[in-house]
A and B are shown apart, each in its own frame.
Chain A
Amino acid sequence: MNNSTLLDLRGVSKTFGTTTALSPMDLEIERGSFVSIVGPSGCGKSTLFNVLSGLLRPDDGTITLEGNNVIGATGHVGYMLQKDLLVPWRTVLGNITLGARLKGKVTPENRELATGFAEKYGLGEFLNHYPSALSGGMRQRVALMRTLATNHQLLLLDEPFGALDAQTRFEMQQWLLQVWRDTERTVLFITHDVDEAVFLSDRVLVMSPRPGRVVDDLRVDLPRPRTLDTLVSPAFTELKARVLHQLHRERAV
């Protein structure tokens, strides 16, 4: 483990009855990197996040975050679940500061931080709106701002754009990259969309089910900032082909 390692998993495993959701897994995540996890549904992606966030206790193994053992703890990562889970009775501002409210009082600093995020990332006009008045893309932005506002270095995003239409999705990907660059966080990003994974990431992990495990780990050295041109570059296509091959080889067995 070198200095730039933020997260370190050693032999982490989890089974549910007879299902091996995670077979013993080793994984190092570098601080500041953007890492995507792709794999068919049921291969243990969400389980990995649940274990990392402390919602589930692994059967075995160690998890070290910034040098601390975090097994059995919660509240050390920003975790955005598959559903946006905005609460309808709070405004956008109230939703972004929900984490602070759940831990105690919402301080003026919390509000300032939340307002700052919202204004910077296209939600400024909606601070006093209730979620019911927002579009799907806007809701995802709020959910992500809420995750950011907890000030954790590591963000776990579970298929955040899965329910969006293609055009909104591309806008949101660009937007997410901007947020990631500005805030210097480390992102673990689950998706089943190979294009999305390659487009966003420094590194793509391919998982396969039964037992859930990482079968490929590839670097994406495409230049940043990534644009529409990235999507049609030969290098992009090549990386995408490799991920697709991995996915389908596993599925064909």
Chain B
Amino acid sequence: MTKKKLLVNIFGPILSVVVLISIWQSIVVWGHIASYIAPKPLDAVRSVTSNWSTLAPLTWWTIKETVYGYLAGALLGAFLGVILSKIPLMQRVLYPLLILTQAIPIIALAPPLVMILGFGVMPKVVIVAWIVFFPVTVSVLDGLNHVDKDLLTLAKVFGANPLRRFVVLEMPAAVTQLFSGLKIGATYAVTGAIIGELAASSGSSLALYQRSASGALDAAGVYGTTLIMTAIGIVWFLLVVGVEFLATPWQRRSTARRWRRGAKPVLPNN
């Protein structure tokens, strides 16, 4: 990547967020919008900082639900993708069931989950995993089903057994696809956690905090909570993108990173 491109990549997103917030600020200030309808962006941020002692543990819970649910969903999703692609019978048996899981409205999932799992972290984790696993399964299945047939022939030529063939050729060949599923899942994960908190919380949670702020006509509190939720979503997505970046160096580099090299450099000036 050139320096110029790097600058554009970093400052582009920052610029667009700054512009968006400026527009928001201008509309509220110059449009004389009442503070109980829409707050100024700074007020929303201030509401978060001044209530941070209350919000911090709630935020922490939401992060936990998102992360645990995501990891569980991603693992389950990848596992199911492998099973479906490797055992043809499973594609017949399991695939309709998987579609069915996604047809159930997520909100309607909460009451039975509460009955089974109570009001703790578990039902939210299950909801997040429920949403996340599906795109991962589909992408892994797709990736594995589209591995170059000649590559499989190559494995046979070398006399590789099916396990080695899978680990050495098929899995890496499906990695690009896997990450596209993981990224879609990452954008959904926090949404799942919030839906879970709305539908399956008794005590305190970010979602309920927002709801009571709304009841109290505390627009700054409502928007502030939204900012927190959004931040969790964005940070998680960026983490996944970061992992992809590290895990797939061949997509944008011409040589292996130093610590991944199997060979000592032989260039005289190296």
Contact = CB atoms under 8 A, between A and B. Distances in A.
Interface of A: 53-55, 74-77, 79, 81, 83, 85, 87-91, 93-94, 97-99, 101-104, 106, 111, 115, 119, 124-125, 127-130, 132-133, 150
Contacts of B261: 91, 128
A89 B263 contact: no
A124 B153 CA distance: 28
A90 B51 CA distance: 51
A74 B157 contact: yes
Interface of B: 148, 150-151, 153-160, 164-165, 168-169, 172-173, 175, 248-250, 253-256, 261-263, 265-267
Chain A contact residues, majority secondary structure: loop
A30 B210 CA distance: 83
Contacts of A97: 262
Given A81-B153, A89-B175, A130-B250, A115 B263 contact: yes
Contacts of B175: 89
B267 A125 contact: yes
A87 B153 CA distance: 13
Contact of A81 (B150, B173, B248, B254): B150
B164 A102 contact: yes
B30 to A, nearest CB: 52
B265 A87 contact: no
Contacts of B255: 91, 128-130, 133
Contact of A55 (B156, B249, B250): B156
B266 to A, nearest CB: 5
Leading 8 A-B pairs by shortest Cβ distance: A75-B159, A133-B254, A102-B160, A127-B263, A130-B250, A102-B158, A93-B263, A79-B157
A153 to B, nearest CB: 15
Given A85-B154, A91-B261, 17 more contacts: A53-B157, A85-B150, A89-B172, A89-B175, A89-B248, A93-B262, A101-B168, A102-B159, A102-B165, A102-B168, A103-B158, A103-B159, A111-B262, A127-B263, A127-B266, A128-B255, A128-B261
A106 B168 CA distance: 12
A250 to B, nearest CB: 29
B147 to A, nearest CB: 11
B263 A88 contact: no
Contacts of A99: 158
A163 to B, nearest CB: 14
A132 B156 contact: no
A125 B160 CA distance: 29
A133 B159 CA distance: 28
Contact of A98 (B168, B263, B266): B168
19 contacts: A54-B156, A74-B157, A76-B159, A81-B150, A81-B157, A85-B150, A85-B154, A89-B172, A93-B263, A98-B158, A99-B158, A102-B160, A103-B158, A106-B262, A125-B267, A127-B265, A128-B256, A128-B261, A130-B253
